[in-house]
Amino acid sequence: MTLFEKIIAREIPAQIVYEDDLSIAIRDINPQAPVHVLVIPKKPIARVGEAQPEDQALLGHLLLTAAKVAKQEGLENGFRITINQGVDGGETVPHMHVHVLGGHSLSWPPG
């Protein structure tokens, strides 16, 4: 079971800000911005590069959910959506998720 599956199963506590049949959104334990939420599919796809054609609707759902959460969090000045993959991408939890970051001006390009 991945860390995020344990959070979804309520075996590990997390600050849940949104949940539906397909996804859950939690506050990141080590926030990199004033608002840092992770939108996680309940289906444990290891990383976005391993998503399959049948996951197309789920991937779209995650983006729509990320935008919904950003609105819920009051990020009307803007926000960033990030998906990390692999060592160079900074992936640390092998259960794909969408980072929603905002609450101040974010630098670009990232390091």
Distance of closest approach, residue 108 Cβ to ligand 5GP, in angstroms: 18
Question: Which helix H or strand E contains 5, and what residues bound it?
Answer: helix 3-8
Distance between CA atoms of 51 and 19, rounded to whole angstroms? 21
Q: Is 2 in the site for ligand 5GP (CB under 6 A)?
A: no
Distance between CA atoms of 72 and 86, rounded to whole angstroms? 30
- The correct pick among 10, 21, 30, 108 for binding ligand 5GP (CB under 6 A) is 30
Distance of closest approach, residue 96 Cβ to ligand 5GP, in angstroms: 8
Q: Is 73 in the site for ligand 5GP (CB under 6 A)?
A: no
Share in percent of the chain as helix, strand, coil (round to 5):
30, 25, 50
Point out which residues bind ligand 5GP (CB under 6 A). 3, 14, 26-30, 38, 84, 90-93
